Amino acid sequence: MLLWIITRLPENPITGRAGPISGEAIIIQIFQITFIILSGIILVKSTKAKNSRIKGSTI
């Protein structure tokens, strides 16, 4: 996502010119951000659930 943003800036250090921004590209970026956020939420919840099962069990 950061690379996409950098390449859309005028006079960027990678290509020297701004790339086009289309509606489809913006929608794809929104989906990517949503995916990253949802993946983080799932990871945090599964880690908490795993830790609570470990603490609750007796050996």
**Predicted confidence (pLDDT) per residue in 14-32, tens digit:** 888 898 899 999 999 999 9
Q: Which two tokens stand for residue 1?
A: 């996502």
Asked if residues 18 and 8 have their Cβ atoms less than 8 Å apart, the reply is yes
pTM to 2 decimals?
0.69
pLDDT at 59 over 70: no
Asked if residues 50 and 43 have their Cβ atoms less than 8 Å apart, the reply is no
Q: What are phi and psi of 41, to 5 degrees?
A: -65, -45
Element (H, E) at 26: helix 23-56
pLDDT in tens, 32-47: 999 999 999 999 999 8
